[in-house]
Structure formats: C-alpha cells, structure tokens
DNA sequence: GCACCCATGTCAGCCACTGTCATCACTCTC
DNA sequence: GAGAGTGATGACAGTGGCTGACATGGGTGC
C-alpha cells in the first residue's frame, strides 16, 4: 500500500514489494495471483452476502432480500472507512485496477445470483436482481466514499435502493428533486 | 480469431498473431493496445447509445429512455450474430477477457450516465439508471446468445426490461412464473 | 530420531509490452 | 520534378510480470 501510494501502481515493481516485505519475488506470487490482487484480498463480503440471502424471509421481494444482505454487509466497510478510502484512491488512479475491481463486483453478482436461485427464483429474475442490487451498491458506495458529510453507508444504500423504484416514472429533472445537490462520483469506472 | 479459437487465448502469442497477419510484433502493438484488445475493437455501440439517449423525448421515464436506446443498438449485434457468438465463446473461455468485457460494459454505463445527466437527471438517478440499463442489457444479451429458439435480441431486451419493474414485488417462485423454463447463462461473468 | 509436509529460496526462462532509431512510401509544395 | 514533411512499418534491445522445477530448512506427528 505504501509503495503503491508513493510511486504509483505502475512504477512499483513486484521486486520492490517483495523486498519491502522481506521475501523473494517468487514467494510473493505464492500469496498473490498477480500484482493487482494485493488490493483485492479477503472478500469476507461474499460470505456475508451469501449467508444473508440464504436466511432472509421467504416472503420478501427479490430486491428487498438484496437490500437486507447489503445492509448486513455494510459494517465490513464502515469499520475500516479510512483504509477503504485510501485503497479506493489507488484504484481510481489506475485503469488496470479498475478492471480488477469490476471483476470483483461481477463475482458478487455471481454470488447473489446463485443465492437467489437457491431461493427458488427463476434464472432471469435472479440474475437481474443480482445485477441491479450490485449496481445500487456501487452507486451507494461511490456516494459514501465521496460524501463530505460522512453519512453512513447504510443510509446511502437505503436511499439508493429506494431510488431504483422511481426509475420507471417519467423524468424528474434536477431542479425538482431533493437530492440534486449531492455530488456523486463524477466519472463512473 | 482463428488462432484464439484453435489454440486458446493464452497459448496464442502475439508473435504468432503478428506473423499470421504478416506484420511485426511492434506493428501489432501500434494497432492494438494489448493482446486482448483485438476482440474489443470498434464499439459503434457507444455512439448509437449516446445519440439515441440525446434525441429521446423529454417526457420519458429514465429506464424507458434506455430501453429505446438499447433497442436502437440491437441491430449492431443481430446483423453479425454468428461472429458475435463465436467471439463470445472465446471470451467465455478466458477470465482475462471477461475482465476486459466488464470494462467495456462499464464504459457503456459511463456513456449512458453522461447522456442522462445531460438530459437534466440528477447524478444519482442517472448513474443508477445507466447501471441498471446495462445490467438488463447483459442479461438480455446472455439470453439471446444462448437462446436455442433464436428469438431476437430486441425481444429479449423488452422482456428483460419489463422484468426489472417486477423486482420490487414480493417473491414469485419458479413454479409460478411463465418463463421458468428459460435457460440463461449458467455462470454470470 | 525419522519421515513427512509445507513454506520459502534459487534459478532459468517465456513472453507481453515499450522506447528508440532507421527506413520507406506517399503527398504537398515551390 | 526535387526536396521536405508525414505517417506507417521494421529492427532491436530492454524491462518486468509471471511460471516451472528443484533444493532446502524448519516444524509436526509417530
């Protein structure tokens, strides 16, 4: 993390990382599939999401199931807000890393998709709900990371998920909405 | 394409591709940013989406704007269905390529997002609608590519987008839905 | 004490990708 | 029509990400 922050991701060689960690380069590659993977390690998130989706009540709408799962997972981020923001800055500075992050998000979609199918949803609905759930998470996460007011991730999640319901209504322009002043991520990945 | 199909993406070296094309390796890299980019070339899609979004009627709901844009873009794929399916098979066989495809989808989200903001939508709604629109596209595209009945992409799009509206309703299990028999992509990217 | 892992080190090598300079066709201009 | 740009390609050397194969040492169970 220090090296990536100091010199940038590209300019940091694996040899340097290995030296800093006092292991050989070969050993580095025994712990991390590649140079990027350092930033995408534990992913306790997957387990939380899968478990929360499995144990949700049967009667809930698909998106509500996801809403609860995401809410349960939020502490994973909120507990290490500073580290998360620092990591996000490194990723924002490098397209290769953004690509990898997309892949991680895709694996979350996959996890949710599988869990929803096991609840008995048909494949199309399950995949769609999973995709939309993670899409909402990305938006909420982006808002949270950049929120000058430091409101909680859970709040952002709730608002974002609520907003998904309004998307089929006729267009409301900025001037008429109550959150028009919010400044989200300017450039989506 | 031939080489990727015959030997697999990983086993194909840039030197081989260059030789087959009767240019030097260096020239290859003057045309393609990297080895993967060969499969992700023109992207006329971006222009179609942006243009369609700009010119859509003001009164439409955000998701309906996207629905029309995607419908206009569908011929880009349907006109070369065989090539598209072949390409998709190569991508399906390689995680690196799937990563790149995700990046391309993200750039579509970005395009839609920007276009929607220019229509006056607030950032959160715009990003959310863009993400969900592309999510629906991915699902519809997956269904289309794997559809044994060869129904059109436009039909799949329409159905998938319609389904997004039902996601906030309480769970309907497979047995009670009318498209439960559909076989989508088994493993989401 | 011995056998057995398992993590790490060592070494050699492939190949993706890049910087740099030379060459050569093509076009524009006087 | 000769000479000066211009842009695409070739030639070549080098960096660095990543891998396979084998050796070694330090713990653990018997």
Q: Which of A48, A110, A112, A113 is nearest to A79 (CA)?
A: A48
* B135 & B58 share domain: yes
Scored b (16 or more CB within 10 A) or e, A65-84 reads bbbbbbebbbebbeeeeeeb
- Tell me the pLDDT tens digit for each residue of B62-83: 989 999 999 999 999 999 898 8
Are A56 and A127 in the same domain?
yes
Domain range for A8: 1-35
A12 shares its domain with A72: no
Using the CA of B29, give the nucleotide whose C1' is nearest: C17
Helix (H, G, I), strand (E, B) or coil at B46: helix
- Per the CB < 8 A criterion, the answer to whether A33 and A41 are in contact is no
Q: CA B139 from chain center: how many Å?
A: 9
Contacts of B60 in chain A (CB under 8 A): 170-171
3-state secondary structure of B57: coil
CB–CB of A127 and B142 under 8 A?
yes
B172 belongs to a structural domain: no
By C-alpha to C1' distance, D9 is nearest to: B27
In the predicted structure, residue A167 carries a pLDDT above the cut 60 = yes
Number of structural domains, chain B? 2
Q: pLDDT tens, B81-130?
A: 988 998 999 999 999 999 999 999 999 999 999 999 999 999 999 999 99
Number of CB pairs, chain A paired with chain B, less than 8 A apart: 179
Taking Cα atoms as reference points, which of A133, A124, A116, A127 lies closest to residue B178? A124
**How confident is the model over B24-57, as pLDDT tens digits?**
999 999 999 999 999 998 778 899 999 999 999 9
Cβ atoms within 10 Å of A125's Cβ, excluding its own? 26
Looking at the fold, whether B2 and B53 belong to one and the same domain comes out as: no
Cβ–Cβ gap B100/A103 under 8 Å:
no
A55 and A28 in one domain? Answer: no
CA nearest neighbour of A49 among A22, A67, A25:
A67
Q: What is the mean pLDDT of chain A?
A: 87
Residue A164 vs residue B30, higher pLDDT: B30
All residues of chain B having their beta carbon less than 8 Å from the beta carbon of residue A145 are: none
CB B68 within 8 A of CB B52: yes
CATH number of domain containing B29: 1.10.10
Same domain, A27 and A83: no
User: Is B43 in the same domain as B28?
Assistant: no
Reported as a single tens digit per residue, the pLDDT across A64-106 is: 999 999 999 999 999 999 889 989 999 999 999 999 999 999 9
> What are the chain A neighbours of B106 within 8 Å (beta carbons)?
98, 102, 188-189
**pLDDT reported for residue B168:** 66
SS3 A2: helix
Q: Which residue has the higher pLDDT, A72 or B170?
A: A72
Phi-psi region of B187 (alpha: psi -120 to 50; beta: other; left: phi over 0): beta
pLDDT band with cut points at 50, 70 and 90 for residue B174? very low
Start-end of H helices in chain A: 2-7, 14-20, 25-31, 44-55, 62-78, 81-92, 95-118, 123-145, 153-164
Task: Say which residues have a Cβ less than 8 Å from residue B15's Cβ, sequence separation at least 6.
Answer: B25
**A45 in the same domain as A132:** yes
Q: What percent of chain A has pLDDT over 70?
A: 88
Domain-located, residue A21: yes
pTM above 0.85, yes or no: no
Is residue B155 in a domain?
yes
Whether B170 and B106 have beta carbons less than 8 Å apart is answered as no
- Of all nucleotides in the shown strands, which has a C1' nearest the CA of A33? D18
Q: pLDDT at position A184, please?
A: 40
B163 Cα to chain A: minimum distance (Å):
7
Distance CA A128, CA B133 (A): 10
| CB proximity B123 to A under 8 Å | yes
Evaluate whether residue A150 is within a structural domain.
yes
Q: Is the dihedral of CA B143, B157, A124, B91 positive or negative?
A: positive
Q: Residue B132: which of A109, A167, A175 has the nearest Cβ?
A: A167
Res A178: pLDDT: 44
């Amino acid at each position: 993390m220090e090296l990536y922050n100091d010199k940038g991701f590209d300019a940091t060689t694996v040899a340097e990382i290995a030296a800093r960690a006092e292991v050989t380069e070969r050993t580095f590659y025994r712990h991390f599939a590649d140079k990027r993977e350092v930033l995408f390690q534990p992913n306790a998130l997957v387990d939380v999401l899968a478990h929360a989706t499995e144990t949700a009540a049967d009667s809930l709408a698909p998106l509500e199931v996801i809403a609860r799962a995401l809410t349960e997972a939020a502490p994973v981020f909120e507990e290490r807000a500073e580290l998360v923001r620092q990591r996000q800055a490194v990723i924002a500075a490098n397209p290769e890393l953004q690509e990898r992050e997309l892949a991680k998000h895709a694996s979350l979609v996959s996890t949710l998709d599988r869990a929803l199918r096991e609840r008995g949803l048909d494949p199309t609905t399950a995949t769609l709900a999973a995709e939309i759930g993670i899409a909402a998470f990305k938006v909420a996460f982006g808002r949270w990371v950049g929120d000058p007011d430091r409101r909680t991730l859970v709040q952002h999640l709730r608002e974002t998920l609520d907003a998904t319901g309004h998307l089929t209504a006729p267009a409301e322009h900025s001037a008429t909405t109550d959150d028009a002043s919010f400044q989200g991520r300017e450039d989506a990945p």
